[in-house]
Amino acid sequence: SILTQDNASSLDYFRLAPASKRVPTGTVYLHFKSVEKLMSSHSKLDGFRLPDGKGLEFRLISELSPFQKIPKKRVIDRREGTIGKDADFLAFQQKLEQQKDFKRESAEQQ
């Protein structure tokens, strides 16, 4: 494995963005705790040949980012998933149901 236990313990951020139909290449974002580990891992990863399950080989490209901040952890909203219990929303839903039953007269019928 490329990412050894020694390298994994020197990471403080790891995110995998797999390939998709829109983006044909996968990307791994790594943030190292020390510059020394970053430089040694960068030189090992750049150009490394990685086999896939079908027997094809892909060459890894390691790039250093000029903007090396990592995203903050996502704060979970306490209200997420509670809209079905909200009194105002339930009243709004009832009003919509009542309006659906109400049929307007067309201009020709008046």
Helix (H) or strand (E) holding 95: helix 87-101
Residue 91 tokens read as 């009243």
Helix (H, G, I), strand (E, B) or coil at 107: coil
Tens-place pLDDT, residues 23-62: 777 788 888 888 888 888 888 888 888 787 788 888 888 8
pLDDT the model gives residue 4 = 67
pLDDT the model gives residue 49 = 83
CA atoms within 13 A on the CB side of 54: 2
Higher-pLDDT residue of 83 and 6 is: 83
pLDDT the model gives residue 19 = 79
Higher-pLDDT residue of 101 and 58 is: 58
